[in-house]
Structure formats: C-alpha cells, structure tokens
C-alpha cells in the first residue's frame, strides 16, 4: 500500500507502545491541520513553538453515517415496514375535501416526478377536441396534460392532485421489479446461472404439450427443443456457462413463461418465475453477440409474453422490438412453401421453417396489441411481410369454440392468443388513425378512415359463429354462455377496445373546436360509440369474472382502466347527460371491481399496488360526482 505523506513524517518510533487514538486536536493543531498528540499541559507542537495549548473551540456533533441508518432500517420487521408504507400511502392518497391553501401558481408543480418522467410519448389522446394528454410509452393510458388538467379543474371545480393519483407511477403498471438490479448483480457468478435439472425441464415440456397452451402460444417445438436441451446441457464444465447462451436463456425463459401462465401439472411444484426471468435477462448481452438463432427468437418471444403477463409493459415492448429484428433476420416474415402442415417425420429444416412461421404470427399478434395499447409505432411493418394466413386457420379457429368438439381433441394448426384477422385490423387502425401521417389528415379524411375501419371490424364480427360473436353493446340483461372460456373473454375485450379506439379518433376533428351544438352529428355519434364500448367492457367483465384465470390480472387490468378513463371524460363533457349518474355509480363501484380481478393470494408488493389502483379509480369517481354537482348548481343558478 502507498503511505500517506503524514504517515511518512511521523516522529514516533514504531518500536514503542501503540499510541492511543486522539479524541480531538488542540486549537493550534486543528487550525494547521496537523496531527496532535493531545499531551497535557502542552502538546508536542505547542511545546516546541512555545505557544499556549488550548482546547476552547466549539465541537460540532457529527451525524451518524448513512450506512448505519440503512442497516438499522433493514432490520425492521415486515409489520413495521407495512405500517410505515400505510402511513405514507394514507398521507398521499387519502381523499380530502378541504380547500387547498396553496397559491395558484404554475400547474406544472402539481404534476408528480413520476408523471414528468413519462413525458416521452408516441401519441396524443384527444376527447371531444381537447388534448387530454400523451399516450405514454409505458402503458398507453394518458397522464393528463396541462390543458387536460385545466379542463378537469374547470368541469369539476376541484384541483386534480396528481401527487395522489400517481404516487408510485402508473397505477395500472406493476412495480414488481423495482429492486431487480441488485438481484441481477448477484447473478454474475457461475453458480447462480447453473441450469436446473434437465428432467425437470422435460417434465414442464410434457405438461406444455398436453395443454392448449401449445396452440395458443406456440413458443417451442418439441423436436427442436430437444436440440436446444442437448446444446445447453452438452457442456460439462460449470465455468463455461456463457457458452451457448441462446440455448440456456431459452430454457430459463421457458420455465419463467410456464410459471407465469401457471402451466404445470398437479405433481409439479411452482418454480420461481421472476428468478428464471432475471437469469434469462442476465444472458441477453451474450445472446446478442451470438449468431441469430431460433433459440434467441424463442427467448425474446417468451420474455415478451412473461413481461406482459407480469404487468411490465415497457420491458414487453422492448422485447417485442427485439423479436421483430430476429424475425426479419431469420426470414420468418416470408411465407414458406412447405405444404399445409408438418408431421414429426419431416426433416428438421422443414420443421424449423414451419416453427419460425408460427413464431412470426405470435410476434405479429403481440406487436400489434402493444402498439394499439401504448401508442408506439408497431415494430413489424405490414408492407414488409407476407400476411397469408396459415392453411386451415379459420376453420380450426372456429372449431376451437365448437361446444360439440371434444375438449381434449386439439387441432394441429396453432390458434394464437387472438384472432390474427383482428390483429391485422389493429395494424391498419394504428396506421390510419394514430401514426404521424394520420395526425395530418383533414376531418373528411379522418372520418373516411374511421368508417372504413369500422366496416372492416364489423365484417370480422359477423363472420364469427353466433356463439362467440361479440355484440356491439353489452348490458347486464344479456345472457352469458356458461361454457365460455378465457379465449372468448379476451376476444370480446379486445373487440370493445378496438371499437373504442377507432371511434375515439373523431375527437381530433376540428369540428369540436366550435360550439358544442355545432358539432357534426357523425362526430358526436362516433364518440358515443366509443363511450358505449367502454361501458360494455366493464359490464362484460363483471359478468365474466368467474372465467378469469388466477394469473391474468395484469393482462386484463388494462381494459377496465382504459374504459374507466373514457367514461370519466364523458361525464365531464356531458355532466347532465341522462346516463351520467349511472356512469358515476359505475365509477364508484370500480375499487371493488378491481379488487375482484385478483383471484389468488397476493404478495405484499401486490397488496400495496392494489391499494394504489383502487385509490386512483375512487378519485375518478369523486371528481365525476363533483362535475355533476357543479353542472346542476350552475343550471339552477
């Protein structure tokens, strides 16, 4: 070690007894910043210079070191930490009707840092001619813009406290991985990245192949995945864990994918989905340095599905963009000429080509869904792809919902999460209504695009069998099919959301800039369709709640949250509308409704986050009620 100049000038002999540590230096030594031996009545320096040796200066009390406080805080019990969190949330989120004493300064100071950090956006949400806010790249649901905040304040007479609404960031986004950085740092050792027992992985593959998930999410092929296992487990030396990173990351992501979707047999214990996902992420840098392979594509696809199912939309969007690059580099965007189906006896090359095409459609469906949700441009351009549907796809898709078809007799053609034809309509809707080019359209061009997309969506709807055909509007009085499954529920939610997004684009029409009674009939009726589609989303979810799976909360949550905000904006626009009181009642029931979507035992983090969500929707109901009361007071006056 290097010696400091002060230690090299020491006059003390190293052979003598060890010196006591000086508690404080005399005034002279302290001013000169030299070491003091604190001898009495004079220290060595003062004695040699024949000056008084005093200790008269004031002593400042040092603060405790930060790490001591942190160490003490980590020793708090779970109950104490929950009490602290509850106090913070109560202070931030409690509903107070007291008038605020803060001066009416720039409204920007009332926007939380969390909201300001999400300013990078890819679209604007308009409602009846007003720019309510940006479509966030994180979730698609808007943070109200300054203009939107002023509008809400003018319609309700209340100041919108964004510190309350967005304490932990977007309430509809899972904050589960805020502490994942430390975990990722600990995964750098070879022992932490050891693969699980191969037999365990093969058991999960068998369970995956025995369920309908292999058709809804065709992420792996049994024959090809065996080659992946051979590659990953072929290296015996534990220190070579970075070799064949694509194959190993594929195994980690497959286990995380199975766990988050609850794909396991009754005899198999649940695996740590987040732990395996973090291991796959840890291998991503090495995966990107290897040649592009189907294992790398499978890893990105399964990680995108995992992040969507976990409520982490930003990471899912990033993984979706990675899958798009892999799709183009592997040529999966082109339709191969390999026949109508593939049997296990076919050669591996044909099998791999067929599997890549299935991965393309899966990536296409996910990409279009994220695009319409978040306002981000899609990563897969339709103009660059062959969109010929798989052979027998439509017939097999309808057979999936046939009640007379045996439930365990699965078709051979993949079905994918949602109808691919609806995904194509989503793609056209974004391009025609929400792209940069679409924002420059005139009212006539915009309305024409809306009519064409509405016609496309209606043709798709009537083409479905009556049993699974969604209605344009839904109410409590409508009968519910007792044999419905999760596929039917998601298809209806997706239809209502697509219908709402198509007709909500009329809010950008310049006709809204004039007096309200001068708005074109077509514009007003189109917006009414969007609001009715939002109501139908809530009504349908309330009646189909028993069908929802245990782990679909973050997937489904987006639909009611988007619908609640649309209904809230409509109440503010028309507070004296005959339906306004019922809409407020619907918003007031929202907290109980959101809690009912969690159909499993939840963790402490999820419990805290659920409280934030319910407080957010409760605030929407309060503000909507204030808007009606204000409008009634003004009318009576």
Render 463-491 in DSSP notation, one character per residue: HS-TTTPPPSS--TTS---TT--HHHHHH
- 539 neighbors 512 (Cβ within 8 angstroms): no
* Residue 503 placed within a domain: no
Distance CA 169, CA 152 (A): 20
**Residue 528 exposed, middle or buried by CB count within 10 Å (0-12, 13-18, 19+):** middle
* Residue 363 placed within a domain: yes
* Residue 274 placed within a domain: yes
* Residue 320 placed within a domain: yes
Contacts of 291 (CB under 8 A, 6+ apart): none
Residue 78 CB neighbour total at 10 angstroms: 8
The tens digit of pLDDT for each residue in 551-574 reads 677 888 889 988 998 899 899 889
Binned at pLDDT 50, 70 and 90, residue 23 comes out as: low
The tens digit of pLDDT for each residue in 391-419 reads 888 888 887 777 666 555 556 778 898 89
Looking at residue 329, its pLDDT comes to 95
The mean pLDDT of 138-165, rounded to a whole number, is 71
* Residue 265 placed within a domain: yes
Q: Is 529 helix (H, G, I), strand (E, B) or coil?
A: helix
* Residue 594 placed within a domain: no
User: Is the pLDDT confidence value at 67 over 50?
Assistant: no
**Residue 385 exposed, middle or buried by CB count within 10 Å (0-12, 13-18, 19+):** middle
CA-to-CA separations, 74 to 71, 184, 604, 607, in angstroms, rounded:
5, 20, 16, 20
Tokens (6 digits) for 471: 């209605």
Query: DSSP code of 235?
Result: -
Distance CA 599, CA 266 (A): 19
Alpha helix (H) residue ranges in 310-419: 313-330, 348-374, 393-400
What are the residues facing 121 on neighbouring strands? 136
**Angle (CA) 202 206 211, round 5°:** 145
Binned at pLDDT 50, 70 and 90, residue 228 comes out as: very high
What's the domain count of the chain? 1
The overall average pLDDT reported for the chain is: 77
Tokens (6 digits) for 594: 């959101």
Looking at residue 502, its pLDDT comes to 92
Q: Which residue has the tokens 């189906």?
A: 341
The tens digit of pLDDT for each residue in 82-141 reads 555 555 555 544 443 343 433 333 333 333 333 333 333 345 666 766 666 655 544 456
What are the residues facing 124 on neighbouring strands? 134
- 385 neighbors 364 (Cβ within 8 angstroms): yes
Binned at pLDDT 50, 70 and 90, residue 242 comes out as: very low
Looking at residue 401, its pLDDT comes to 74
The tens digit of pLDDT for each residue in 577-607 reads 999 999 999 999 888 888 777 665 566 666 7
Range of the structural domain that residue 255 is part of: 176-338+345-388
* Residue 157 placed within a domain: no
* Residue 286 placed within a domain: yes
Contacts of 425 (CB under 8 A, 6+ apart): 453, 456, 457, 460, 498
Looking at residue 405, its pLDDT comes to 62
Looking at residue 89, its pLDDT comes to 52
Of the listed ranges 106-120, 217-231, 345-359, 528-542, the least confidently predicted one is 106-120
Of the listed ranges 80-94, 151-165, 616-630, the least confidently predicted one is 80-94
CA 496 to chain centre: 20
- 605 neighbors 175 (Cβ within 8 angstroms): yes
Peptide bond into 41 cis (omega under 30): yes
Render 96-112 in DSSP notation, one character per residue: --SPP-S----GGGGS-
């Amino acid at each position: 070690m290097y010696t400091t100049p002060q230690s090299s000038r020491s006059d003390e002999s190293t052979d003598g007894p060890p010196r006591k540590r000086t508690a404080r230096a005399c005034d002279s030594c302290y001013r000169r910043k030299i070491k003091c031996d604190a001898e009495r009545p004079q220290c060595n320096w003062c004695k040699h210079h024949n000056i008084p040796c005093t200790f008269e200066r004031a002593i400042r009390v040092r603060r405790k070191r930060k790490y001591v406080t942190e160490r003490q805080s980590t020793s708090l019990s779970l109950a104490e930490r929950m009490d602290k969190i509850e106090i913070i949330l109560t202070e931030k989120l409690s509903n107070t009707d007291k008038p605020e004493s803060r001066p009416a300064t720039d409204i920007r100071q009332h926007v939380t840092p969390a909201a300001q950090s999400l300013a990078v956006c890819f679209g604007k949400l308009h409602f009846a001619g007003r720019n309510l806010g940006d479509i966030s790249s994180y979730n698609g649901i808007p943070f109200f813009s300054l203009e939107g905040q002023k509008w809400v304040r003018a319609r309700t007479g209340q100041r919108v406290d964004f510190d309350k609404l967005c304490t932990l960031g977007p309430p509809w986004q899972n904050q589960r991985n805020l502490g994942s950085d430390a975990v990722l740092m600990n995964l750098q050792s070879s022992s932490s990245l050891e693969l699980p027992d191969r037999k365990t992985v093969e058991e999960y593959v068998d369970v995956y192949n025995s369920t309908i998930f292999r058709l809804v999410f065709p992420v792996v092929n049994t024959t090809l995945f065996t080659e992946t296992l051979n590659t990953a487990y072929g290296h015996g030396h534990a220190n070579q864990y970075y070799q064949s990173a694509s194959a190993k990351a594929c195994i980690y992501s497959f286990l995380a994918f199975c766990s988050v979707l609850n794909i396991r047999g009754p005899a198999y214990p649940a695996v740590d989905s987040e732990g395996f996902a973090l291991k796959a992420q840890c291998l991503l840098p090495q995966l990107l340095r290897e040649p592009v392979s189907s294992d790398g594509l499978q890893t990105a696809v399964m990680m995108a599905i995992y992040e969507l199912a976990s409520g982490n939309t930003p990471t899912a969007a990033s993984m979706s963009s990675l899958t798009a690059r892999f799709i183009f580099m592997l040529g999966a965007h082109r339709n191969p000429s390999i026949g109508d189906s593939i049997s296990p006896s076919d050669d591996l090359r044909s099998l791999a080509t067929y599997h890549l095409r299935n991965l393309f459609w899966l990536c296409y469906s996910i990409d279009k869904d994220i695009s319409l949700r978040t306002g981000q441009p899609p990563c897969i351009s339709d103009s660059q792809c062959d969109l010929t549907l798989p052979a027998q796809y439509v017939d097999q898709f309808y057979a999936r919902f046939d009640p007379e078809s045996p439930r365990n007799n699965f078709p051979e053609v993949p079905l994918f999460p949602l109808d691919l034809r609806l995904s194509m309509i989503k793609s056209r809707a974004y391009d025609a209504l929400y792209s940069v080019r679409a924002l420059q359209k005139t009212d006539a061009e915009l309305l024409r695009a809306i009519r064409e997309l509405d016609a496309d969506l209606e043709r798709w709807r009537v083409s479905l069998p009556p049993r699974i055909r969604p209605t344009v509007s839904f109410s409590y009085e409508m009968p519910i099919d007792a044999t419905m499954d999760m596929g039917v529920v998601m298809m209806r939610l997706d239809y209502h959301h697509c219908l709402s997004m198509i007709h909500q684009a009329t809010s950008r029409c310049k006709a809204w800039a004039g007096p309200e009674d001068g708005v074109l009939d077509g514009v007003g009726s189109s917006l009414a369709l969007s609001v009715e589609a939002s109501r139908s989303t809530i009504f349908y979810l309330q009646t189909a709640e028993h069908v929802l799976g245990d782990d679909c909360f973050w997937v489904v949550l987006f639909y009611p949250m988007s619908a609640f905000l649309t209904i809230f904006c409509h109440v503010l626009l028309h507070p004296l509308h005959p339906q306004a009181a019922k809409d407020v009642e619907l918003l007031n029931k929202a907290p109980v409704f959101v809690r009912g979507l969690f159909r499993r035992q939840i963790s402490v983090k999820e419990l805290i986050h659920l409280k934030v969500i319910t407080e957010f929707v409760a605030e929407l109901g309060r503000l909507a009620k204030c808007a009606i009361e204000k409008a009634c007071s003004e009318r009576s006056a």
